[in-house]
């Protein structure tokens, strides 16, 4: 049966269309505006668009998975959950950016706003692709937008350095992913992830194991880079430090979440046969590789962070460590893989966003990115210091915060699948991480202030901090609501192809 474009139910793509439309609209408005004009109206428009997309995303939950555009694009609960996270993260980043832009630090404001949206769009495509080509398009859209965003302060050398490193290393990682994908195509003769899975399973039986593994590991290299896990972490500290704080936040929160969605989708969707294969060998290999990534990230992230004295570098290594924690459920294939990963990513989103927002405010006030900028914050601005303490406590995984519960959830996976070593590494490195997270706490509470006067917190940032703080505490004390929502999500739909690829009768 021939299908035409308009035969599809396009409403399922409403969120993506809204974001794409908004990005286009913003770029046109930006062209029409005068150079010196205040561009903050663009931010507000972008914010509204993101909220609109969020509304359509959330309202789609619980419906049958639907594939569109010749089965290349797939709307299922798995993608929707991740899209919700991405949209929430971007909305909060946009709110924080308002203040950053006011400082005239970012000269190309218009570009900044619509690049954030295109990056977001890339992330959204990434979470919903059922086809390697769409997937790669999404990935590159996200990556290229991020490269420019990292270097958007074009008069600053550190920003340029960040962008340069990010482009080169990011390009290499994309090449790895592409190369891996080419092997998949070579084995399966199709770019559709789910069809490829079936054909690769056959190929496994025909003595092509080595190519299957080759494709998988080539892609793993790339994924490792995108989620910022060791040993592919070299770019993280420099880029995080050089990029403007809201962009760093975006990279840490939105990019990472999208990359995890990609990783889970490809590994579980494309290589599902490894888990069912008669020989446990393939599974063993995959699990070991992922465990090594996770363990290395935790160890390197948490130990190198001990020697960092720049806030954003410290957070960069912390982000590497958190990538390690988040990998654990996937690596151990725990019974609560999806729920615990998403729970942790949610917790991570809230606490990291909050922490970066405070860091941005404090750095601007002190004029330095050193952790000494926090000296005596508790006296100058007790509420901000208290909020930051909660974020740091959550990052270090101490109750009663979302970070603790997320870690608890992840650990259950590791222990239930009898991977005691990774649980032990996770706990040991967590204790190590106390030292550097509490280093900032020490600065805030134990040291006298260097500067005088209160630290001014702009209203939008205050709102973001409040949202993040309430979220962090509520998810830590009463996880019930979030768990219920996660429990209702139809995760299994992400793993299997739709029946014959035909859209279900509406």
Partner 1 sequence: MDSLIKILPTWIAFSPLLGFFCLLWVPRNRSGWVKGVGMLSTLPPLLLSLFLYQRFDFASREVQFSHTFDWFHIPLPQGQTWSFSYSMGVDGLSMPLVVMTAVIATLAATASMYVKKRTKGYFLLFTLLEVGMLGVFMARNLLLFFLFFEVTLVATFFLIGIWGLVHREKAANQFLLYNGLGSAFMLIAFIGIMVLFQTLDFSRLQMVLNNPQTQMALASQPQFQTLIWGIFIALVIAFGIKLPIFPFHTWMLKVHAEAPPSVVMIHAGVLLKMGAYGLIRFGVELFPSQLREAAVVLAVLGLINILYGAVLAFVQQDLRRVLAYASVSHMGIILFGIASLNVEGLSGAVFQAVSHGFISALMFFFIGSLYERTRTTRIEELGGLARSMPVLSGVFLAGGLALLGLPGMSGFVAEFLAFLGLFQTQPILAACGAIGLILAAIYTLRAVLGTTFGPDRGTWSGPADIRTYEAAPMFILLALIVLVGVYPGVLGDPMQTTLQLIVSRIGG
Nearest approach, Cβ of residue 25 and partner 1 (Å): 42
- Specify the residue, 462 or 483, whose C-beta has the smaller distance to partner 1: 483
H-state helical runs in 333-451: 337-366, 377-380, 382-395, 402-416, 420-446
Q: CA–CA separation, 289 vs 340, rounded Å?
A: 20
Taking the alpha carbons of 335, 196, 212, 327 in that order, is the dihedral positive or negative? Answer: negative
Q: CB nearer to partner 1: give 340 or 357.
A: 340
Q: How many CB atoms lie within 10 A of CB 273?
A: 19
Among residues 177 and 337, whose Cβ is nearest to partner 1?
Answer: 337
Q: Does 474 bind partner 1 (CB under 8 A)?
A: no
Beta-carbon neighbour count of residue 473 at 10 Å? 17
Query: Does residue 306 interact with partner 1 by CB under 8 A?
Result: no
Q: What angle do CA 213, 422, 292 make, to 5 degrees?
A: 30
Residue 401's Cβ-count burial label (10 Å; 0-12, 13-18, 19+) is buried
- Among 165, 286, 181, residue whose Cα is nearest residue 233: 165
Contact between 480 and partner 1 per CB under 8 A: yes
Main-chain phi, psi angles of 73, to 5 degrees: -120, 135
Tell me, letter by letter, the H, E, C secondary structure of 309-325. Answer: CEHHHHHHHHHHHHHHH
Q: Which range in 48-56, 81-89, 131-139, 413-421 contacts partner 1 by CB under 8 A?
A: 413-421
333 binding partner 1? (CB under 8 A): no
- Site string (440-459) toward partner 1, x via CB under 8 A: --x--xx-------------
Q: Least distance in Å: CB of 18 to partner 1?
A: 32
393 binds partner 1 (CB under 8 A): yes
Size of the site for partner 1 (CB under 8 A): 35
Instruction: Determine the interface stretch with partner 1 among 132-140, 141-149, 199-207, 425-433 (rule: CB under 8 A).
Output: 425-433
DSSP 244: -
User: How near is the Cβ of 330 to partner 1 at its closest, in Å?
Assistant: 15
Q: Determine the Cα–Cα distance for residues 493 and 481; give it in Å rounded to an integer.
A: 22
Decide if residue 404 touches partner 1 (CB under 8 A). Answer: yes
By CB under 8 A, name the one of 41, 478, 496, 504 that touches partner 1: 478
Among 160, 217, 408, 462, binds partner 1 (CB under 8 A): 408
Which of these ranges, 77-85, 188-196, 251-259, 414-422, lies near partner 1 under the rule CB under 8 A? Answer: 414-422
- Integer CA distances (angstroms), 399 to 369, 404, 488, in order: 28, 5, 26
Where in 265-294 is the site for partner 1 (CB under 8 A)?
none
Name which position in 51, 412, 493, 495 contacts partner 1 (CB under 8 A). Answer: 412
Is the CB of 35 or the CB of 484 nearer to partner 1? 484
Shortest distance, position 298 Cβ to partner 1, whole Å: 13
- Residue of the chain from 427, 462, 473, 493 that contacts partner 1 (CB under 8 A): 427
Taking residues 181 to 220 in sequence order and writing x for each that binds partner 1 by CB under 8 A, - otherwise, the string is ----------------------------------------
Output 185 or 434, the one with its CB closest to partner 1: 434
52: Cβ–Cβ under 8 A, 6 or more apart, which residues?
A: 18
- Cβ neighbours, 10 Å, residue 482: 19
List the beta strands (DSSP E) in 78-213.
Answer: none
Instruction: List residues bridging with 66 in a β-sheet.
Output: 75
CB of 201 to partner 1, least distance (A): 22
List the one residue from 335, 459, 501, 504 that touches partner 1 (CB under 8 A): 335
Q: Name the minimum Å distance from CB 76 to partner 1.
A: 18
Site for partner 1 in 346-385 (CB under 8 A): 378
Strand segments (E) across 57-139: 66-68, 73-75
- Residue whose token pair is 């940032």: 461
**The pairing of beta strand 66-68 with beta strand 73-75:** antiparallel
Single residue of 51, 415, 462, 495 touching partner 1 by CB under 8 A:
415
Please state, in angstroms and rounded to a whole number, the distance separating the CA atoms of residues 404 and 396.
8
Closest CB to partner 1 among residues 50, 411: 411
Q: Count CA within 13 A, CB hemisphere, residue 234.
A: 11
Residue the block writes with tokens 């459920």: 329
Asked if residue 331 binds partner 1 (CB under 8 A), the reply is no
95/441 with CB nearer partner 1: 441
Query: What does each C-alpha distance from 492 to 329, 404, 407, 421, 483 come to in angstroms?
Result: 16, 27, 23, 28, 17
Q: Which is nearer to partner 1, 164 or 408 (CB)?
A: 408
339 scored as a contact of partner 1 (CB under 8 A): yes
Integer Cα distance of 325 and 407 in angstroms: 8
Taking the complex as a whole, the smallest distance from the CB of residue 412 to partner 1 amounts, in Å, to 6
Rounded least distance, CB 115 to partner 1, Å: 39
Question: Residue 67 — φ and ψ, nearest 5°?
Answer: -115, 145
Residues lying near partner 1 in the complex (CB under 8 A):
335-336, 339, 378, 393, 398-400, 404, 408-409, 411-412, 415-416, 420, 423-424, 427-428, 430-431, 434-435, 438, 442, 445-446, 478-480, 483-484, 486-487
């Amino acid at each position: 049966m021939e299908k035409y474009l308009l035969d599809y139910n396009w409403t399922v793509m409403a969120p993506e269309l809204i974001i794409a439309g908004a990005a286009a609209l913003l770029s046109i408005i930006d062209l029409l505006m005068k150079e010196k004009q205040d561009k903050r109206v663009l931010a507000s428009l972008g914010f509204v668009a993101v909220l609109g997309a969020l509304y359509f995303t959330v309202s789609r939950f619980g419906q049958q998975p639907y594939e569109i555009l010749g089965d290349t694009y797939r709307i299922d609960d798995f993608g929707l959950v991740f899209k919700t996270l991405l949209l929430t993260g971007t909305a909060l980043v946009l709110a924080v950016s308002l203040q950053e832009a006011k400082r005239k630090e970012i000269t190309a404001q218009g570009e900044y706003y619509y690049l954030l949206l295109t990056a977001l769009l890339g992330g959204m495509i990434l979470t919903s692709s059922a086809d390697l080509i769409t997937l790669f398009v999404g990935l590159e859209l996200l990556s290229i937008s991020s490269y420019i965003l990292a270097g958007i302060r074009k008069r600053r050398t550190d920003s340029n350095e960040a962008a340069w490193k990010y482009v080169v290393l990011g390009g290499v990682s994309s090449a790895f992913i592409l190369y891996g994908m080419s092997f998949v195509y070579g084995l399966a003769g199709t770019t559709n992830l789910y069809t490829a899975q079936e054909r690769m399973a056959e190929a496994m039986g025909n003595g092509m194991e080595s190519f299957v593994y080759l494709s998988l590991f080539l892609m793993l290299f790339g994924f490792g880079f995108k989620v910022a896990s060791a040993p592919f972490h070299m770019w993280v500290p420099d880029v995080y430090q050089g990029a403007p704080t809201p962009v760093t936040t975006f990279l840490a929160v939105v990019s990472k979440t999208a990359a995890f969605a990609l990783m889970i989708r490809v590994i579980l969707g494309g290589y599902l046969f490894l888990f069912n294969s008669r020989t446990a060998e393939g599974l063993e290999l995959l699990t070991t590789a992922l465990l090594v990534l996770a363990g290395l990230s935790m160890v390197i992230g948490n130990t190198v962070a001990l020697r960092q004295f720049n806030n954003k570098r410290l957070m960069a290594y912390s982000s590497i460590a958190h990538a390690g924690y988040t990998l654990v459920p996937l690596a151990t294939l725990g019974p609560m893989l999806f729920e615990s990963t998403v729970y942790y990513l949610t917790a991570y989103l809230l606490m990291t966003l909050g922490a970066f927002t405070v860091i941005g405010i404090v750095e601007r006030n002190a004029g330095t990115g050193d952790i000494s900028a926090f000296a005596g914050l508790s006296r100058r601005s007790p509420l901000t210091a208290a909020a930051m303490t909660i974020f740091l406590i959550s990052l270090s995984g101490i109750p009663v915060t979302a970070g603790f519960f997320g870690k608890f959830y992840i650990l259950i996976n590791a222990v239930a699948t009898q991977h005691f070593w990774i649980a032990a590494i996770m706990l040991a490195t967590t204790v190590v991480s106390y030292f550097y997270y509490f280093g900032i706490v020490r600065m805030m509470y134990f040291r006298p202030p260097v500067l005088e006067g209160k630290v001014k917190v702009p209203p939008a940032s205050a709102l973001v901090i409040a949202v993040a703080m309430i979220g962090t505490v509520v998810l830590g004390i009463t996880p019930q609501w979030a768990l219920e929502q996660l429990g209702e999500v139809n995760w299994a739909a992400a793993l299997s192809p739709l029946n014959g690829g035909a859209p279900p009768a509406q």
